[in-house]
Amino acid sequence: DSTEHSQRMREALHQEVMRWILYRDFIAKEIARGRTIDAFGFYLGFAVRPVITVLGMLHRPDRFDYGFRYVKEEMPPDAVRAIERLCYVSTPSELLVRFEEASDLFARSVEALRARGIEPIDSKGVDLLAVQSRTSNASPSKRNDTRGT
């Protein structure tokens, strides 16, 4: 049913955003350590795949979780070109440039989803990103002060 599918898509969006936040620095760290193969693996798993997922939510919502499958047939040409550009990296030094492109595309896609009313939500029904935003706006002294409790 469409309500259940919408819930599943919102939960998947939340997971993608949280993974993005957690792992976005791994590519640069692995390149700095000289582990370019590891960096490439992180790039595919934590940059290219999430971009494909959020673009899928925008352009093929019924099959947003198909990953690389049917991208060319089911996504608009500009999305296909962007994904192809992200997929074909000729040197390790290009990874950081492509990651910045992926980051921009990911952020724009998440914002486009939000504009359509598709907000990330965790499996418990709470938008943890909104909660995080509210708590990060509190001053550190207020958050950490437990003397009055």
The whole-number pLDDT of residue 142 equals 42
- In 3-state terms the chain splits into helix, strand, coil percentages (rounded to 5) of 75, 0, 25
pLDDT of residue 64: 95
**Per-residue b or e along 30-64, where b marks 16 or more CB atoms closer than 10 Å to that residue's CB:** bbeeeebeebbebbeebbbebbbbbbbbbbbeeeb
Q: What is the pLDDT of residue 127?
A: 61
3-state DSSP assignment of residue 60: coil
Residue 113: other Cβ atoms inside 10 A:
22
Per-residue pLDDT at 130 exceeds 90: no
Using only C-alpha atoms, the chain has a radius of gyration, in whole angstroms, of: 18
Looking at residue 30, the DSSP 8-state letter turns out to be H
Q: What's the pTM value of the predicted model, to 2 decimals?
A: 0.81
Mean of the per-residue pLDDT values of the chain: 87
pLDDT of 132 reads: 61
* 3-state class (DSSP) for residue 133: helix
pLDDT of residue 124: 75
